[in-house]
């Protein structure tokens, strides 16, 4: 590399994107596509692994199913964005430096924080005795354990959508062990009565025993303990109850919410450090209907919006407020069945839902859609900027 080129690189505005999940990848590709050919800005994407983690399919990984090999450097090919493989160990938000694997330091001018979330393991015993779907490695550990389990009981703690998808997948893949799904709310609680009934019937057909209205207060090596002291024997415990963000942002001094997510302003900038944009599950983003919950459907638009905002600021313009409205909740029930609940922008259920094989195909199409979205975005950045804005649910008037 020539000295002149190095001098140019040093002077260029450096946008560092942390986390190559759905949100971080969307931010990096959108940014690189929009900045292509400019000498005054460059983009670097940092991620723990070179392989893209398909978080939406971690329940498949957990049941030993092989997924496509998706390489992050290949997904970035042609964009000009640099890829750095490494584990982010610290962010110094005042010095604008990110530490990678403790011994490397990357300076940034603008940071996009997209390190995602992980299972909340605060309940005693979860850290030591339960499996989670926090990362591909965690899911692989569970797959290894399930493959060695001839019979016995698998308890899935948490009756939210990740718990439902995991319980269904395990029961379909391994018919011998008992699968018990425990949680406070009944499975599919946020769906309309038809979708909820379908989901619950599918769990029953797969042999999943559901107990709702119960809370696990402790996980032991061979059981889980409920609030009233009852204990349920468990050979394997899968923990899907609640999520939190990594402690990195709080340690860096960024303003975070009670789950460790970076609190943003309307344009997705950290309220304490405006040169930091937060996207995806790592961000606490308020809309007219409340703080967005973590999804891929909302995470990708946050990444694209942050990228567009950064480009606007580089051009001396003001970033625009982010607006997003939910439109569906697709839930897989094993490999051949699913429910898709269509929703209003605030995520409340509409009357319309899809079930059965058609829903399974819809879910698969949604899960595989990021690759084509990113491919299009590389050639036509503007194509990434289409998502439901939420209408009156997110407009300044509707939000009042």
Task: Tell which one of 28, 43, 44, 53 touches ligand FAD (CB under 6 A).
Answer: 53
326 binds ligand FAD (CB under 6 A): no
Binding mask 257-296 for ligand FAD (x = CB under 6 A): -----------------------xxx-----------xxx
Q: How many residues of this chain bind ligand FAD (CB under 6 A)?
A: 33
87 binds ligand FAD (CB under 6 A): yes
Task: Tell which one of 63, 162, 264, 287 touches ligand FAD (CB under 6 A).
Answer: 162
Q: How far is the CB of 189 from ligand FAD (least distance, A)?
A: 17
Q: Which of 251, 253, 309, 258 is nearest to 279 (CA)?
A: 309
Task: Tell which one of 32, 75, 88, 93 touches ligand FAD (CB under 6 A).
Answer: 88
Token pair recorded at residue 329: 């909740």
Q: How far is the CB of 233 from ligand FAD (least distance, A)?
A: 25
How many other CB atoms are there within 10 angstroms of residue 185's CB atom?
12
Cβ-Cβ contacts under 8 Å for 174 (sequence gap 6 or more): 63, 146, 149, 154
Task: Tell which one of 15, 41, 58, 311 touches ligand FAD (CB under 6 A).
Answer: 58
- Of residues 188 and 314, the one with the C-beta less far from ligand FAD: 188
- Of residues 223 and 261, the one with the C-beta less far from ligand FAD: 261
CA 25, 293, 247, 319 dihedral sign is positive
59 binds ligand FAD (CB under 6 A): yes
Q: Which of 206, 141, 132 is nearest to 162 (CA)?
A: 132
Contact 100, 88 (CB under 8 A): yes
Q: How far is the CB of 6 from ligand FAD (least distance, A)?
A: 26
Q: Is 250 exposed, middle or buried (0-12, 13-18, 19+ CB in 10 A)?
A: middle
| Residue where the block lists tokens 């893949």 | 173
Q: CA 324, CA 264: separation in Å to the nearest integer?
A: 14
355 binds ligand FAD (CB under 6 A): no
115 binds ligand FAD (CB under 6 A): yes
- β-pairing, 208-212 with 178-183? parallel
Q: Which of 115, 59, 57 is nearest to 238 (CA)?
A: 59
Give the 3-state secondary structure of residue 25. helix
Task: Tell which one of 48, 170, 171, 206 touches ligand FAD (CB under 6 A).
Answer: 48
246 binds ligand FAD (CB under 6 A): yes
Q: How far is the CB of 317 from ligand FAD (least distance, A)?
A: 26
Cβ-Cβ contacts under 8 Å for 340 (sequence gap 6 or more): 328, 329, 330, 331, 353, 354, 355, 359, 362, 363
Task: Tell which one of 17, 23, 29, 195 touches ligand FAD (CB under 6 A).
Answer: 23
Q: Under the rule (CB under 6 A), what is the footprint of ligand FAD?
A: 19-24, 46-49, 53, 55-56, 58-59, 87-88, 114-116, 133, 162, 165, 246, 280-282, 294-297, 299, 330
């Amino acid at each position: 590399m020539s000295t002149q080129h190095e001098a140019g690189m040093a002077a260029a505005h450096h946008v560092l994107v942390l986390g190559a999940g759905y949100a971080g990848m969307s931010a990096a590709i959108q940014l690189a596509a929009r900045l292509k050919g400019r000498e005054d800005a460059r983009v670097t994407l940092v991620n723990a692994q070179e392989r893209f983690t398909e978080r939406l399919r971690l329940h498949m990984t957990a049941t030993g199913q092989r997924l496509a090999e998706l390489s992050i450097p290949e997904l970035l090919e042609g964009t000009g964005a640099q890829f750095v493989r490494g584990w982010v160990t610290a962010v110094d938000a005042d010095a604008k430096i990110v530490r990678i694997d403790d011994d490397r330091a990357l300076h940034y001018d603008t940071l996009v924080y997209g390190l995602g979330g992980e299972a909340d393991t605060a309940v005693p015993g979860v850290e030591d005795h339960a499996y989670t779907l926090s990362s591909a490695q965690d899911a692989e550990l569970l797959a290894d354990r399930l493959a060695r389990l001839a019979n016995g009981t698998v308890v899935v703690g948490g009756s939210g959508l990740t718990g439902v998808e995991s319980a269904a997948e395990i029961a379909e893949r391994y018919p011998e062990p008992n699968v018990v799904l425990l949680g406070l709310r009944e499975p599919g609680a946020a769906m309309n009565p038809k979708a909820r009934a379908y989901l619950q019937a599918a769990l029953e057909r797969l042999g999943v025993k559901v107990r709702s209205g119960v809370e696990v207060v402790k996980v032991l090596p061979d059981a889980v303990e409920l609030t009233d002291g009852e204990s349920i024997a468990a050979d394997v415990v899968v923990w899907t109850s609640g999520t939190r963000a990594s402690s990195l942002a709080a340690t860096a001094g960024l303003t975070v919410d009670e789950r460790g997510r970076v609190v943003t302003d309307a344009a997705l900038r950290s309220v304490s450090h405006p040169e930091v944009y937060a996207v995806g599950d790592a961000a606490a983003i308020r809309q007219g209907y409340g703080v967005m919950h973590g999804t891929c459907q909302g995470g990708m638009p946050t990444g694209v919006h942050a990228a567009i905002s950064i480009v606007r600021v580089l051009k001396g313009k003001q970033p625009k407020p982010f607006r997003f409205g939910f439109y569906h909740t697709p839930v897989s029930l094993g490999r051949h069945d699913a429910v898709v609940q269509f929703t209003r922008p605030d995520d409340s259920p509409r009357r319309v839902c899809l079930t059965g094989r058609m829903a399974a195909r819809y879910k698969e199409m949604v899960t595989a859609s990021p690759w084509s979205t990113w491919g299009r975005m590389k050639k036509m950045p503007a194509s990434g900027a289409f998502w439901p804005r939420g209408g009156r649910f997110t407009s300044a008037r509707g939000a009042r």
